[in-house]
Amino acid sequence: MHRLSDTSNIYSLPLRPTSPSKECGGKKHNRKTRTFLSSSTMLGQLTSRKQHYQTIDTDYNKDAIYKEKEEKEERIMGRLSHFLFGFMYDEDDDLEDWNEYSRMESSMPLYNSLNLCLAAAIATTAAAESAPLTLMTAMSDQFSDLASLSSHTAASAVLGAAMGKFINGPLIDLMGARRIFVHSSLLLCLSLVLLAISQTATMAIVACFLIEFTSTVQWPCVTVILATHYRGSGQYEGGIFITSLGSRMGALLAIPVYTGLLPQWRVVAVSGGWLALVSCSIVYLYVQDAPQQLHAPQNPLTRNKKEEGTLRLLQQVLKENIVPSVRHICGSPTFWWVALAHAGSATVRSSERVLATYFYETGTTASAGLAVYLSLGITLGLVLAGQAFARQSERERKQLVARLYLASIVACYALAAMAVPAIHQMAPDLMKIFQIMAVVVAGFGIAVPLYHIPSLVGATFGCDKGMYAAYTDGVGYGLSSIVWGVIVGGSLQGHHGDGVGWAYGWAAVALLLILSSILMIEFMEYHFCRPRHGGTYETIIFA
């Protein structure tokens, strides 16, 4: 007597043959019965449902085993060591569960707990790292000449930002964005304490280098966390909007407070260190890497590596995790296109480190807190232009970005013109107002290209999102360090104190902004606009 397979389904009972001929044709009978059970009949549906629940029960049993294993490992390692080195023991990502959770997240409000916590964390970080911006005048009274200290500090700080992006960027995908954010906040606190106890100009410059080296990796961490939580939903742009607004609001509120604490610049540095600890606490207590997962590295270590020696482990990580990701990023034309286009807005963004010196040498005595106007302009750009960018179509977005770049270019040339002694001495008070307006317009114009476009492109890089975000900023800040260290620094040395050096410097920034705007608008046309309009193509001349 023929029997169906015991593993086919729960209804695999022995079937009584109706005739010897059918019993002899067992293979044909088995095929028909299998087709019947796999069809859309009630019996087939019940069978599929029962198998589905059996699979769920099996998964629950496996999850219980894995949970017991994780609890045992955590008891062995301890909470602190598990947090620091637990990325070596994390399980693989469950992408299916994340996608399902992301579809649930699509109905969440814009001001949800994740966006607000990340905005608060990045705001306190921005407030902490903006402490050195107000200290140049006070430190120069103790250490050295203001122009020399400002140019060297700005160049070292921007170089530290670039190196921090390139060195710390791969660790985001390897260890997890949450861990790297917490670690960098702790190191930022120590760097600010080092600045507070500095006794020489060299020590202060090194401290500023370390401040930027440890803090610039935190924005890529935020973008990776948002992209992981909002995978497959339309909430990612809203998260970028809230967090980028928080980062600028932190600096906008902190710089006037720091200015009120002067000339006690060491107290300002210690206050920045305390804010870095607050940022660390917010992320540690209220943020997780992925939905329903506290730690979820994008490019984690494989399980067979945790029992290897230290040297062998480093070699395997370099060979199997870091090198393939670097090849993926550096071999992508999209990365280089966006990174080079990002350089102009990054240069204007980094100009806040020298704005106090610029205002001081062009006739403004109380210049310590005037860098806040760049943050004010970026904040207004995120609020006004950012909301318009989110509502518009692809072609309208490109036209908006072109107008924003044009406004920043005109503002940079205006700052260059007002640095000429013959102009700013005509009406010093009126020129000061025009300079502040130009700084606000320059910040307003770079807000969307600086925050929105690289983050949107980075969401398409899969498990290398963190490295892409860090390396994109790294290329931009690397070129910025060349501009501020070589071009502007050389101009200041050749025209010390007369303002002509600043005119050459801001003209160089405007030229770099022109080149980067051409690249960015052409990128938007080629990748965003052209595929949606039947192949029609508009060059930069018609943008």
What's the pLDDT tens digit per position in 116-125? Answer: 999 999 999 9
Tell me, yes or no, whether 1 lies in a domain.
no
Phi, psi of 293 (to 5 degrees): -140, 125
Mean pLDDT over 373-383 rounds to: 89
Tell me, yes or no, whether 12 lies in a domain.
no
152 with 55, same domain: the answer is no
Q: How far apart (Å, rounded) are the C-alpha atoms in residues 280 and 405?
A: 35
**284 residue type, one letter:** Y
Chain segment 17-70, per-residue pLDDT in tens: 433 444 344 444 444 444 444 444 444 444 444 444 455 455 445 455 545 555
185 with 247, same domain: the answer is yes
Give the pLDDT confidence score for residue 263 in this predicted structure: 75
> Residue 476 CB: number of other CB atoms within 10 A?
29
149 with 72, same domain: the answer is no
Q: How far apart (Å, rounded) are the C-alpha atoms in residues 504 and 415?
A: 10
Q: Among 77, 103, 123, which residue terminates a domain?
A: 77
Q: How far apart (Å, rounded) are the C-alpha atoms in residues 163 and 473?
A: 10
Tell me, yes or no, whether 408 lies in a domain.
yes
CA-based nearest residue to 235, from 352, 123, 118, 91 = 118
Tell me, yes or no, whether 189 lies in a domain.
yes
Domain that holds residue 36: 20-77
If pLDDT is split at 50, 70 and 90, which confidence band does 543 have?
very low
Give the rounded distance of the alpha carbon of 260 from its chain centre. Answer: 31
Give the pLDDT confidence score for residue 64 in this predicted structure: 53
Q: Among 46, 77, 108, which residue terminates a domain?
A: 77
Inter-CA distances, 381 with 182, 234, 509, Å: 29, 22, 19
529 with 388, same domain: the answer is yes
pLDDT of 14 over the 70 cut = no
pLDDT of 406 over the 90 cut = yes
Q: How far apart (Å, rounded) are the C-alpha atoms in residues 156 and 152?
A: 6
Give the pLDDT confidence score for residue 59 in this predicted structure: 47
pLDDT of 282 over the 90 cut = yes
Mean pLDDT over 313-340 rounds to: 83
pLDDT of 258 over the 60 cut = yes
38 with 159, same domain: the answer is no
Inter-CA distances, 338 with 171, 398, 403, Å: 22, 14, 18
Tell me, yes or no, whether 3 lies in a domain.
no
Partners of 293 in the β-ladder: 290
Tell me, yes or no, whether 89 lies in a domain.
no
119 with 69, same domain: the answer is no
388 with 505, same domain: the answer is yes
101 with 59, same domain: the answer is no
Taking the model in full, what pTM does it have? 0.68
488 with 419, same domain: the answer is yes
If pLDDT is split at 50, 70 and 90, which confidence band does 147 have?
low
If pLDDT is split at 50, 70 and 90, which confidence band does 212 have?
confident
Chain segment 171-198, per-residue pLDDT in tens: 888 888 899 999 999 999 999 999 999 8
430: CATH: 1.20.1250.20
Mean pLDDT over 230-244 rounds to: 79
Q: How far apart (Å, rounded) are the C-alpha atoms in residues 121 and 395?
A: 34
Tell me, yes or no, whether 506 lies in a domain.
yes
pLDDT of 150 over the 70 cut = no
If pLDDT is split at 50, 70 and 90, which confidence band does 437 have?
very high
What is the number of domains present in the chain? 2
Transcribe 290-337 into DSSP letters: BTTBS---SSPPPGGGTTS-HHHHHHHHIIIIIHHHHHHHHT-HHHHH
Highest mean pLDDT among 64-73, 372-381, 434-443 belongs to: 434-443
pLDDT of 308 over the 60 cut = no
Give the pLDDT confidence score for residue 120 in this predicted structure: 93
Highest mean pLDDT among 27-41, 140-154, 363-377 belongs to: 363-377
210 with 349, same domain: the answer is yes
Tell me, yes or no, whether 85 lies in a domain.
no
148 with 109, same domain: the answer is yes
240 with 372, same domain: the answer is yes
Transcribe 435-496 into DSSP letters: HHHHHHHHHHHHHHHHHHHHHHHHTTSGGGHHHHHHHHHHHHHHHHHHIIIIIIHHHHHHST
